[in-house]
Structure 1
Amino acid sequence: MKDISVSPEVHFLEDVLKWIAAGELRVPKFQRPFLWRPEQMLQLFDSIERGYPMGSLLIWETPEQLASLDEIGGMPIPGPPDRAKVAYVLDGHQRLSTFLGSLHRASDAPRSEHQEDWMWWIYRPLGKEDREGSRYRHWKSGGRADPDYLPLRSVLRTVDFLGYSRQLYDVYPTALADTLVEEAQRVAHRIKSYKVSVVRMSGGTLGQAVEVFSRINSSGQKMRPDQMVSALTYETTGSVTLSDRMEEIQARISDSGFGEIPMMTVFQTVLAVSGEEDVQNTSWDIMAKKVQGQLLTAVEDTDRVLEKVVAFLRETVQVPLARLVPYNIQIMLLAVFFHFSKEPEEERLQKLRGWFWTTSLAGTFAGANTTQVRKFIEEMKAFAVGTGDLDYSDERARAFPERFDLRSARVRAYLIWELGTFPDRINPDGSTIDAIDQLARSHTETYRHVITQSRVDRASSPANRVVMRTPAGVSIRQALIDLAAENRTDVLTSHGVSLEAVERLKNNDYSGFIMTRQHELASRERIAIESLGILPPEQESAEADIDTE
């Protein structure tokens, strides 16, 4: 451990921004990207004008050369000056980006209706002292703002401020222009004279600096483990960090139509592929040292094996979307298999398919702790290389879920089965609907309630939901009752709804409809479970556990 010294300082905001513009104060790459919403940016300037404190900045002065951002607030930042002291922002990135991006904006910077352009063009409307809320505004069009909108980019530039003041005299009568200019001068003085508290930390190691950042970050959004390991291994990963590479992998999988795999899952997969079995370790500085030499190769291997995992899930197991995978740990364990088993034979793939269904239906990974996860990885490695087996013959499927909630692995397993069992759904008007495509966009709107009365017994059951389009103002319940005779059988069969269940609807026996359909679906699912060689549930239905990561 190296000694750390801390010294509080006070500086004009304008001077701090000059340090950034000169490349002397930098933002390390392990910081999150700019995440503030436009209204947060406006509130920051409003707080300054009202004299409210904005919180201190924490910077770390070190001789170490850290990988850092070359753009802050949409502004290019030069490299660190030769032989000059360089400091890194540990807390204050979002605030400093807002200041630099708006106060140092170039006059010819892009203006458009796109947020990435207009969010940096911040104005202080003049002559409207009775405003409520923030006194600041964005100008969201590509054109020039109204004459009485003071552009913040001019308040630190004397020539630009004088030019804006002259413009007011060109547009308004002298008396009104005098009033507006006086107000503009007060605003500019507030910003130019604003002092910020800077806590300067000197000494210490990179690991200590990252730990400090992860503890004190004022935004309340914790540093992700992959970002922390990226910071601690920057010498190995170079300017493109581990997080950057993982985000590329995540984006490729999402763009394939499978949807987004959680970043933590991708990160744990990288660790597992690197040979690490303790993938849930929270001592990320120790973890970084252990895997530092294997990271680049592990990321490339992860990219390759996750492609195989997605293909296996889609083609062999018939999982259409990432959001339906019951447990994210299954993705990581499948990646371990495909990493260590280069060309698995069909028999082994079918065994893996059975393992997926068994663990999904039985809730095998619910609440898995570090020791259990390590055991699962060891077991999968042994199976992949042919020195072990995946024996889950004593696992029993959990009962049909009584509540539709995608936070339940059992519900996700049910939906995978349901989507495969009813692939071609027909609407009452004879048109077809792609349930998977619709589910990829929104699961809450895809599976619509048949009975909308919450007080009806078992109204939350998956049996009370179907994927169907109806005319405006027509409920699913009414559409099922009014089905034309010529296509009634085809429509009902495509949704797994029996004539008996519809008769219950016609007689206003809503609970009876749900119970009838639930029994029919549970019976069909049970047959599928037994055909997989999995022990069927001991009871027909039960409350669905909320057990996903």
Structure 2
Amino acid sequence: MTIERIMSSMFKADPVFKASPESIGSLIEAIHNGAIALPDFQRSFVWDPKRTVELLKSIISRYPAGTLLTWEQSSNVKFGSRPFEGAPVAEQDTERLVLDGQQRLTALYQALTGTGDYHFFMRVWPFIDRASGSLLSLEDVDLDIALMAYDLTGRMRFDPLNEDWQIANGVFPISTYDRLRPWFKKLARSVETDSVAADHLEEVLNQFRDTYLQPLESYSFPVVDLPAKTSLVAVCNIFETLNKSGKVLGPFELLTAKFYPTGVHLRDLWDTACQQYPLIVDFGVDPYNVLQAISLRSRGSAQRFDVLNRLNASGVREHWDATVAAFADVLDMLKRECGVISAQWLPYSMVVVPMAAVYPEVAQLRPQYRAPARERLRQYYWCTVFTENFDQGANSQAGADYKLLREWVIGSSQDAPEAVSEFNVTDYDLLNARANKKALFRGFVTLLIQSGAKDFLTAQAITNLDQKGFILDGARFFPKVWLDTSSNNPDGHSSDLILNRLMIDKSLRRAIKDRPFGEYVAAQEEFDRRKYSDVLSSHLVDDGEGSGLERSDYNLFLQERLTLLVEQIEEVTGQSLIYESEG
């Protein structure tokens, strides 16, 4: 194929979207009659009046004020929508939904139609040179004193809607920008007693309208308009690309709009779920993860394309309640039985998805069968954490795991999920793992907590402490400054190894500073040595005579702790590690 034919075929292809300018006047009219509306997942109008004033100043100055993103609606598929705040209920079918630009368009609609709690006003005199009776150029206009906003719901010393007050102060409501001729006539004759001078001032006022108020109707925004056939996946990607700094439009928001006309109100369902299950709030569960779990149960996939395009309202109706309850049950199990005391220490939020998708069947088992099923779920969790199976392709991994996990946990299948059946963790991996491997580090911390790690100050189990007052923080047994001296670290091990990490209260970390932990403790007379040894043991540390900690031997310390850690991992995973380290 020649380059000419390739180029020709490229330019004949249907565009992904079209971009064109649209005037404020046409946009306001479309908002008013309902041709343009908001998807019901969009947040409410939140701008304060100062931001609206700044936008009006940009419009009057003809400065760029950003682009808008809209999405055409087809007659076959309708998304839940609502009118802009202050606009009447639509009398016609919505033609387009605004995905990006709600705040700007709402601000302009309310300012130019006189709706909302705040009304916006403009002084004419900052635009006119009273001495020469001529219109000032924009560079000479102080827009900061020319525009103002009044809250008409509050108590005021004057009524800004009173025409006599307006004439006396040369102030008019911006909402009357398109019908000011009679007002200008009254203003000119109230200021100038001579008819010729009054006529001249009236002409200058009309010039002011044509120069500075005309943009309030003719100013055009570049509008990116997505065609109706644009897929939900593409809408997500496009919105995220164009709206990096704004509110993220995710699959949950899109499905909220998609299912709304069917009577499935996802936002209401989610609010109810958060009220019923506080753990969901405490762990910051993303409602989209719930939909992914439902998609696993109904469609066998957690991929975004499948959730957006194949999950239907009936599937949500059927599985929502059980799946939401399952999320709470799984999180409770992880918190009570796996050391995940808070969202901060959950290695992968995605690992909860396949577990929650399976759990409704676990909950229905008889007690004698439920206990071993929960044990397998815990085994799956620990194996997943230490194999780091969700570091890449978490959605695909969740789908693959669910198919095996369900039958392995509640059925008779011996085919375990990949993390269990292909467990290939080596002691060398653990020895050299650094704390920046977040999931593995969190797994290490929660394993310590699950194994009974105690607080160094109170000698109480961390799980028994008030988590609001106790701030778990990571310190180093052997700090970097100390290890940077070659004599203290002849083998050159990094100071940031997971095995060098000590989980203590934040206040204690500040007290230790850059000293080796053993040296700090030795200087503390109030430390009970027997309790201290017991607490260290709970953190998988040997402090006996000749130990690496006691001798300040970093390499020996790492090997000793590695041995204890491997024992714990093998216990919770039910698997044997591969031994590769040189010892």
| TM-score normalised by the chain length of structure 1 | 0.68
Q: Which of 219, 223, 235 in structure 2 is aligned with 1:195?
A: 219
Matches within 5 A, 1:450-469: 451=479, 453=481, 456=484, 457-462=493-498, 463-469=500-506
Instruction: Tell me if 1:420 matches 2:439.
Output: no
Report the CA distance between 1:268 and its aligned residue. 1.1
Q: Is the 8 A contact 2:295 2:307 kept in 1?
A: no
Q: 1: distance between equivalents of 2:323 and 2:376? A: 22
Report the CA distance between 1:534 and its aligned residue. 2.0
Paired amino acid for 1:60: E
Partner of 1:224: 250
Q: Which of 105, 108, 116 in structure 2 is aligned with 1:99?
A: 108
What is the root-mean-square deviation of aligned Cα atoms in Å?
A: 5.6
Q: Residue 131 and residue 316 in structure 1: after superposition, are their counterparts in 2 closer, same or farther (change >3 A)?
A: farther
Q: Is the 8 A contact 1:258 1:310 kept in 2?
A: no
Higher share in helix: 2
Matches within 5 A, 1:268-287: 268-273=292-297, 275-282=298-305, 286-287=309-310
Q: Is the 8 A contact 2:280 2:327 kept in 1?
A: no
Q: Residue 265 and residue 402 in structure 1: after superposition, are their counterparts in 2 closer, same or farther (change >3 A)?
A: same
Q: Residue 360 and residue 201 in structure 1: after superposition, are their counterparts in 2 closer, same or farther (change >3 A)?
A: closer
Range 39-48 or range 359-368, more displaced: 39-48
Instruction: Tell me if 1:26 matches 2:37.
Output: yes
Residue-by-residue CA offset, 1:273-317 (whole Å, 9 max, x unaligned) = 2x21122152556424xx343222222221122222122222333
SS in 2 for 1:27: strand
Residue-by-residue CA offset, 1:318-338 (whole Å, 9 max, x unaligned) = 322344333334212212321
Q: Is the 8 A contact 1:458 1:514 kept in 2?
A: no
Q: 1: distance between equivalents of 2:222 and 2:385? A: 52
Partner of 1:380: 405
Matches within 5 A, 1:93-172: 93-100=102-109, 108=117, 154-157=173-176
Q: Is the 8 A contact 2:233 2:304 kept in 1?
A: no
SS in 2 for 1:208: coil
Report the CA distance between 1:269 and its aligned residue. 0.7
Matches within 5 A, 1:144-543: 154-157=173-176, 189=213, 192-197=216-221, 205=228, 207-208=229-230, 210=232, 213-214=235-236, 216-217=238-239, 218-220=242-244, 223-238=249-264, 240=265, 242=266, 245-246=269-270, 249=273, 258-273=282-297, 275-282=298-305, 286-288=309-311, 291-341=312-362, 342-343=364-365, 344-368=369-393, 373-389=398-414, 391=416, 392=420, 395-397=423-425, 398-400=429-431, 402-405=433-436, 408-427=438-457, 446-449=473-476, 451=479, 453=481, 456=484, 457-462=493-498, 463-470=500-507, 474-477=511-514, 480-481=520-521, 483-489=523-529, 490-491=531-532, 493-494=534-535, 496=539, 512=552, 515=555, 517-532=557-572, 533-539=574-580
Q: What's the % identity of the aligned pairs?
A: 13
Partner of 2:88: 78
Q: 2: distance between equivalents of 1:251 and 1:378? A: 31
Paired amino acid for 2:496: S
Q: Is the 8 A contact 1:395 1:534 kept in 2?
A: yes
Residue-by-residue CA offset, 1:450-488 (whole Å, 9 max, x unaligned) = 636497352222324432344897444458256433424
Q: 1: distance between equivalents of 2:110 and 2:553? A: 60
Report the CA distance between 1:70 and its aligned residue. 3.8
Paired amino acid for 1:324: W
Partner of 2:67: 55
Q: Is the 8 A contact 1:250 1:263 kept in 2?
A: no
Report the CA distance between 1:527 and its aligned residue. 2.1
Q: 2: distance between equivalents of 1:121 and 1:500? A: 76
Q: 1: distance between equivalents of 2:210 and 2:467? A: 54
Q: 2: distance between equivalents of 1:37 and 1:436? A: 45
Range 408-417 or range 210-219, more displaced: 210-219
**5+ residue gaps, structure 2:** 1-13, 127-138, 159-168, 191-200, 485-492
Paired amino acid for 2:504: V
Q: 1: distance between equivalents of 2:470 and 2:114? A: 39
SS in 2 for 1:260: coil
Q: 1: distance between equivalents of 2:394 and 2:513? A: 43
| TM-score normalised by the chain length of structure 2 | 0.65
Rg (Cα) greater in structure: 2
Paired amino acid for 1:388: S
Range 474-483 or range 457-466, more displaced: 474-483
Q: Residue 491 and residue 469 in structure 1: after superposition, are their counterparts in 2 closer, same or farther (change >3 A)?
A: farther
Residue-by-residue CA offset, 1:18-60 (whole Å, 9 max, x unaligned) = 5424544211235576688999877644542431233355463
Q: Residue 121 and residue 262 in structure 1: after superposition, are their counterparts in 2 closer, same or farther (change >3 A)?
A: farther
